[in-house]
Amino acid sequence: MLSRFFILLLGIILLFPPIVSFVIGKPVTLWGQPVHLTGEILYFFFGIFLIYISLFKWTLTVKRKYICPVCKEVSEQAESNEIKCSMCSEPMEELNGFYERHPEKKD
């Protein structure tokens, strides 16, 4: 979650030079160098892109639901080979299709 926040923050920071230069009507100076129009357009679109992935794409691509076969604790985790249950340390399985694979566990 922390890295997602930093991506969002970076996106917002990247939006500043183009917005400021649009408001004041001349190129902004960044680290002693004036930012050219091409650079500002790149900052703008890259900033929008970073904000977009941090807000909308992140959870879809990175998180999945897992279930513990022992205590049936469900948790949302980043995709990984080995996910342990936080309650009983058993290896967890992906929730999607779990009851099809283990019909005996249905209650």
Q: Give which of 50, 94, 42 is closest to 68, Cα–Cα.
A: 94
Please state the closest distance from residue 87 (CB atom) to Zn ion, in A: 4
Residue 95 binds Zn ion, judged by CB under 5 A: no
70 binds Zn ion (CB under 5 A): yes
Q: At residue 52, what are phi and psi to the nearest 5 degrees?
A: -60, -50
Nearest approach in angstroms of CB 86 to Zn ion is 8
Out of 9, 62, 74, 87, the residue judged to bind Zn ion by CB under 5 A: 87
Answer yes or no whether residue 71 interacts with Zn ion by CB under 5 A: yes
- Taking the least distance from each CB to Zn ion, the nearer of 48 and 87 is 87
Q: Are 44 and 18 in contact (CB under 8 A)?
A: yes
CA distance 25 to 55: 30
Give the span between the Cα atoms of 47 and 18, in whole angstroms. 10
Q: Is residue 88 near Zn ion by the rule CB under 5 A? A: yes
Closer residue to Zn ion in complex, CB, 13/87 = 87
Joined together, the tokens standing for residue 6 give 């930093």
- What does the binding site for Zn ion look like in residue numbers (CB under 5 A)? 68, 70-71, 73, 85, 87-88, 90
